[in-house]
Copies of this chain bind each other. A is one copy, B any other.
């Protein structure tokens, strides 16, 4: 079982302007990811614009993805929602459709306490028999998990992994030494934020949760495998090749860059949900130049 380990590729969820998911485009994107031998797919993550889609559209995406991937690649599904009751319904939908794991972010509008997030996660985890990954993404959710909360959640049955924001390379060993003793031995600690995650895996992280892996699975897989092998010289070399793309993700926003790549590579003709806007023609050209450099990976 490679869920919560190695490379988890996060596809966009192609949809029209009204938010109706394009199942044909989604299936093509997933098949392209699966061919590269990724360790899992993370459907309906932040790159998959999960909070922008209705429950019905999320259900449609889950059902078709489970069909495409069934028996080939483990499928993890983001079930984050503002209401606990909605997250429970989404978790049950995912299990019924054949998902292999859940990803849950503490989505909030009114700021939540540590105890409120504990109860939210425990309730969702108890709603199905699927293993659940804690989606720790303060840049999007504005919620900060304390170490104590992560430790308490790691004791909850079904809560099996965490997706952490990658710290600076130098801080990864300290973070893992701090967190591992707080968790059961089987608990997996993986990382997101593509520009730093390969370093985090090379330093002992269990998984790389990658938005760019959903649209450029081949070069991202090479980088991930080097990181898993602990080949830091090759990781550094490849990250230098990726650097212009990472810089554009920082300056333009990762999701906008990923949609531009999906457009340019013929994966999907549409755009992210407005008000998130497609990149200008000039920015698209700059992105494509950065992508073309990746032939050297």
Interface residue ranges, A against B (CB under 8 Å): 17-19, 46, 49, 51-52, 82-86, 106-107, 109-113, 115-117, 119-120, 123, 139-140, 142, 253, 255, 272-277
Copies of this protein, total: 2
Q: How far is the CB of A194 from chain B (nearest CB, A)?
A: 15
| A17: chain B residues within 8 A (beta carbon) | 85
Q: How far is the CB of A286 from chain B (nearest CB, A)?
A: 17
In the docked arrangement, what's the CA distance between A193 and B73, Å? 49
16 cross-chain CB contacts under 8 A: A19-B86, A52-B109, A82-B273, A83-B275, A84-B275, A106-B275, A110-B255, A111-B253, A112-B275, A116-B277, A117-B275, A119-B274, A119-B275, A119-B277, A120-B274, A120-B275
A276–B19 touching, CB < 8 Å: no
In the docked arrangement, what's the CA distance between A110 and B109, Å? 13
Residue from the list B19, B49, B51, B123 in contact with A85, Cβ < 8 A = B19
Known: A46-B109, A110-B46. A84 touches B115 (CB 8 A): no
| A274: chain B residues within 8 A (beta carbon) | 83-85, 119-120, 123
In the docked arrangement, what's the CA distance between A219 and B269, Å? 56
In the docked arrangement, what's the CA distance between A86 and B19, Å? 9
B110–A140 touching, CB < 8 Å: yes
Residue from the list B52, B83, B139 in contact with A82, Cβ < 8 A = B52
Residue from the list B83, B113, B120, B273 in contact with A83, Cβ < 8 A = B273
Residue from the list B82, B115, B272, B273 in contact with A277, Cβ < 8 A = B115
With both beta carbons as reference points, the residue of chain B lying nearest to A53 in the complex is identified as: B83
With both beta carbons as reference points, the residue of chain B lying nearest to A112 in the complex is identified as: B275
Closest 5 CB pairs of A and B: A120-B275, A84-B274, A116-B275, A51-B109, A84-B275
In the docked arrangement, what's the CA distance between A86 and B113, Å? 29
With both beta carbons as reference points, the residue of chain B lying nearest to A18 in the complex is identified as: B85
